């Protein structure tokens, strides 16, 4: 299994698939992996695996033409009554998509270009459950995929903001440099590489003596989802590098300008 850092660098959005069903070894490994995931902040969430053929019967799941040839989908479902429900579910979902990347499977975050009613019928949602995100999963069309290397900057689907535009030292407006971030420069870089809706990159982080304080901007409706992806990249990279700490909600942490406090990483 590749390192988390390699998985993050190799991940890219895939929208064209061969149509080949997942091999039994890939399907069973994926099912086992998603069954072992849990909400990182104590909420309730689950990931459903939805193959497009169950026995001989085709399953109809519409994505309005943006995806072709996908043999299966993953659906992200969370309980809306739990704190940080959507954010934690997004953390879990990114773990699943990085695992797909590690197996050579393509995926793509979809938040608006799919028929929710068709997906909901297969997922048996409770009254408090929501289904905001799905992803196709399958084998990418070879001509649509450039053979990647971890150091290849072309792996990023779109350009990312400069390091100091999203990470700050002490307060907003004071850019944090990779040098000042020290051993946490790599986890921050993995946050910078995280995918986000319309490439808005709505996460902001303020570093101080207490730790790192994560925010989401008010600029886009999927900010809670994107924050979850960023938190996943950060914590999983920290664990891989042996950087100790944990996420903790600090009671009255001040709001930023046009940004809402999410959670803190306490060293």
Size of the chain in residues? 267
Q: Map residue 50 onto helix, strand or coil.
A: strand
Q: Which of 32, 120, 131 is nearest to 90 (CA)?
A: 131
Q: What is the pLDDT of residues 8-45, one digit of tens each?
A: 999 999 999 999 999 999 999 999 999 999 999 999 99
CATH superfamily entry for domain 158-266? putative nitroreductase (tm1586), domain 2 (3.40.109.30)
Average pLDDT over the chain reads 89
Q: Map residue 222 onto helix, strand or coil.
A: coil
pTM for the full predicted model: 0.91
pLDDT value at 60 more than 70: no
Strands 246-248 and 211-217: unpaired
Is there a contact between 227 and 261 (Cβ–Cβ < 8 Å)? Answer: no
Lowest mean pLDDT among 58-67, 161-170, 232-241, 242-251: 58-67
Every domain range in the chain assigned CATH 3.40.109.10: 4-144
45: β partners? 78
Every domain range in the chain assigned CATH 3.40.109.30: 158-266
Specify the higher pLDDT residue, 146 or 228: 228
Q: Which CATH number is 4-144 given?
A: 3.40.109.10
């Amino acid at each position: 299994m590749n390192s988390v850092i390699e998985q993050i660098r190799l991940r890219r959005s895939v929208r064209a698939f061969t149509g080949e069903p997942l091999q039994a070894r890939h399907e069973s490994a994926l099912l086992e992996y998603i069954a072992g995931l849990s909400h990182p902040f104590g909420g309730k969430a689950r990931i459903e695996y939805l193959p497009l053929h169950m026995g001989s019967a085709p399953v109809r799941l519409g994505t309005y033409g943006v995806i072709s040839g996908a043999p299966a989908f993953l659906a992200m479902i969370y309980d809306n009554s739990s704190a940080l429900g959507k954010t934690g579910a997004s953390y879990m979902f990114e773990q699943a998509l990085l695992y797909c990347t590690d197996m050579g499977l393509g995926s793509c975050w979809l938040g608006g270009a799919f028929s929710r009613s068709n997906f909901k019928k297969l997922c048996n949602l409770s009254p408090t459950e929501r289904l905001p995100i799905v992803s196709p999963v399958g084998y990418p069309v070879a001509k649509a995929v450039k053979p990647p290397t971890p150091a290849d900057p072309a792996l990023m689907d779109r350009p990312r903001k400069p390091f100091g535009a999203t990470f700050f030292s002490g307060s907003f407006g004071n850019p944090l440099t990779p040098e000042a971030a020290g051993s946490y420069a790599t986890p921050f870089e993995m946050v910078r590489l995280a995918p986000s809706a319309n490439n808005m990159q709505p996460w902001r982080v303020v570093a101080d003596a207490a730790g790192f304080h994560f925010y989401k901007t008010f600029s886009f409706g999927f900010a809670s989802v994107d924050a979850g992806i960023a938190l996943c990249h950060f914590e999983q990279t920290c664990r891989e590098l042996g950087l100790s700490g944990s996420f903790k909600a600090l009671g009255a942490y001040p709001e930023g300008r046009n940004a809402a406090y999410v959670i803190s990483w306490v060293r």
